[in-house]
Chain A
Amino acid sequence: DAGVTQSPTHLIKTRGQHVTLRCSPISGHKSVSWYQQVLGQGPQFIFQYYEKEERGRGNFPDRFSARQFPNYSSELNVNALLLGDSALYLCASSPLWRSYNSPLHFGNGTRLTVT
């Protein structure tokens, strides 16, 4: 079975630009979460979507937004990019809303570099 797939794998953008990252969850998984992992740090929670509704939001500015589509795939959008947005962006899926009883399955991420 296919795991969580993310595209693109790598991306270079300039400060002030906008970026869209995409994620396809494991088949049958209805929950998608986004995490930001800065080099040398653990992942930090950005958003969770379940059944196309936002169910959780981490401590990130309004420049970050996301949505989930009827097929449960998801997009993460970041506006007005800053150098500090350079990171590995991870998407994770799970079958259920509450991931403590159904662990997250992560994709391999999109490496975003902002110059």
Chain B
Amino acid sequence: EDQVTQSPEALRLQEGESSSLNCSYTVSGLRGLFWYRQDPGKGPEFLFTLYSAGEEKEKERLKATLTKKESFLHITAPKPEDSATYLCAVQDDSGGGADGLTFGKGTHLIIQP
């Protein structure tokens, strides 16, 4: 059974204070690892897909990296508008037919001005 564990559960930073969010995963075979951002009362918004260890992707102040056991979402010089819950999800290659993602519980990030 696929498992995704995110840490910390909550993180409060000052504006401009860089940090990293962690996503540890266990899958039989990784098809893809996904990062989403979710604002209160909204659906998740896609950020990145990572496919293999060593891969990195960047978007504005965010950079996602992937190893064989975990992924990090690095936030550089965050702004208050970066406040949200960040969700990590995996898709395995079990081929059983179910094409659903397995999500972690998310990291609730607050950036204070």
Residue from A43, A100, A105, A109 in contact with B31 in the complex, judged by beta carbons closer than 8 Å: A100
> Across the two chains, which residue of chain A brings its CB closest to B91?
A100
Given A40-B105, A43-B103, A108-B42, residue A103 in contact with residue B49 (CB < 8 A): yes
Q: What distance in Å separates the Cβ of A104 from its nearest Cβ neighbour in chain B?
A: 7
Within 8 A of A (CB), among B70-113: 87, 89, 91, 97-106
Q: What distance in Å separates the Cβ of A60 from its nearest Cβ neighbour in chain B?
A: 11
Is there an interface contact between B44 and A106, defined as CB atoms closer than 8 Å? Answer: yes
Number of interface residues of A (CB under 8 A): 29
Q: What distance in Å separates the Cβ of B105 from its nearest Cβ neighbour in chain A?
A: 5
Is there an interface contact between B43 and A45, defined as CB atoms closer than 8 Å? Answer: no
B25, CB-defined interface residue at 8 Å: no
A101 to B91, CA, bound (A): 11
A33 to B43, CA, bound (A): 13
A48 to B46, CA, bound (A): 18
A2 to B46, CA, bound (A): 16
A57, CB-defined interface residue at 8 Å: yes
Residue from B36, B97, B99, B103 in contact with A33 in the complex, judged by beta carbons closer than 8 Å: B99
Is there an interface contact between B87 and A42, defined as CB atoms closer than 8 Å? Answer: yes
Is there an interface contact between A106 and B43, defined as CB atoms closer than 8 Å? Answer: yes
Residue pairs across A and B with Cβ atoms less than 8 A apart, 5 shown, are A4-B43, A41-B105, A105-B46, A106-B36, A109-B42
Residues in chain A within 8 A of chain B (CB atoms): 4, 33, 35, 40-46, 48, 55-58, 90, 92, 97-101, 103-109
Residues in chain B within 8 A of chain A (CB atoms): 4, 31-32, 34, 36, 41-46, 49, 51, 87, 89, 91, 97-106
